[in-house]
Structure 1
Amino acid sequence: MKKLLVLLAAFSLSAAAASAQTTQTTPVKAAHGQHTKGGKMHGDKAAKTPEQRADHAAQALTKQLGLSSAQTAQVRQLHLDRARQMQAHKAQAGTATAADKKQHHEAMKAEKAQYEAQLKQILSADQYAKYAQLRSDKMAKHKNQRQGMKQSKS
């Protein structure tokens, strides 16, 4: 009986020690907010629903551009529609052929132009000018980061 208790205690301690030894499964690059292979972001961004994305985008634009409550609601609905479209495109992209990808790319360009036109109707002229400046600054920053990554790989 005593041997059985000692054996049981040893087994439970070894099981506890083994379960406590977990490894980090998140890639280091993703933990720092960088893209991993394939251009996909891991972490919170991938887990957000279209509604969460729309809320986040509407809050960010409200803060950056000083939107009214009516504008915030319109921007949220616009972003919700766009997030749902993007989710549908991502689902279709996995099985697309080369010809389908080109058509898919053109459709996405048209949807982006439509989004920009609708946003321009919601925002005042000053707000849209500030939005356009913020967007171009963000694109320039992203381009500089990509060039820096290319140079560091060479």
Structure 2
Amino acid sequence: MKKLLVLLTAFSLSAAAASAQTTPVKAAHGQHLKGGKMRGDKTAKTPEQRADHAAQSLTKKLGLSATQTQQVRQLHLSRAQQMQAHKAQAGTATPADKKQHHEAMKAEKAQYEAQLKQILSADQYAKYTQLQADKMAKHKAHRQGMKPGLKQGKS
């Protein structure tokens, strides 16, 4: 009888301990955690915050000097402000406007890349282009995994 009582007590204690452990709550679709914030959160970063973050990131990855960091920050600030203006215009665009908008954005990106190339040394720019290529490959692989019809999970 004592053995049964001890077993029953041990079982109830282990069950209580197991139920007290919490499991992480998954974010809703489209609201994945990124940078400590929910992506679906409407509190977007300001252009200044984006520029600071980009400049700090490139400084860390490419070893920029203080002058280069400031120049990169100004370049990113200008680009972030342009992107914010484009987003504001995109809501009411017709299909013809969207094509024109897309072409304008491509031209702005080419101008940005040319200005960045002037700021960075040849080695830094080569490393930057490699980082961008890796980022695009990772993004493309992630998108491939999300296409409907492809099996996800166990391989």
- Answering whether residue 121 of structure 2 is matched by residue 118 of structure 1, we say no
| Correspondence for 1:42 | 40
Q: Distance in 2 between matches of 1:105 and 1:127?
A: 28
What fraction of aligned residue pairs are identical, expressed as a percent?
75
Unmatched runs of 5 consecutive residues or more in structure 2: 1-24
| Correspondence for 1:31 | 32
Comparing 70-79 with 144-153, greater Cα deviation is found at 144-153
| Correspondence for 1:37 | none
Kept after mapping to 1: 8 A contact 2:30/2:40: no
Unmatched runs of 5 consecutive residues or more in structure 1: 1-23, 34-40
Q: Distance in 2 between matches of 1:49 and 1:90?
A: 13
Q: Distance in 2 between matches of 1:95 and 1:111?
A: 21
| Correspondence for 2:124 | 127
- Answering whether residue 51 of structure 2 is matched by residue 54 of structure 1, we say yes
| Cα deviation, residue 32, structure 1 | 3.7
| Correspondence for 2:144 | 147
Tell me the SS of whatever aligns to 2:130.
Answer: helix
Q: Which has the larger share of helix? A: 1
RMSD, matched Cα = 1.9
1:109 alignment partner, one of 98, 106, 110: 106
TM-score scaled by length of structure 1: 0.74
Q: Distance in 2 between matches of 1:99 and 1:129?
A: 36
1:99 alignment partner, one of 81, 85, 96: 96
Q: Distance in 2 between matches of 1:29 and 1:90?
A: 19
CA displacement, residues 99-140 of structure 1 (integer Å, 9 cap, x when unaligned): 000000000000000000000000000000000000000000
Aligned residue pairs total 121
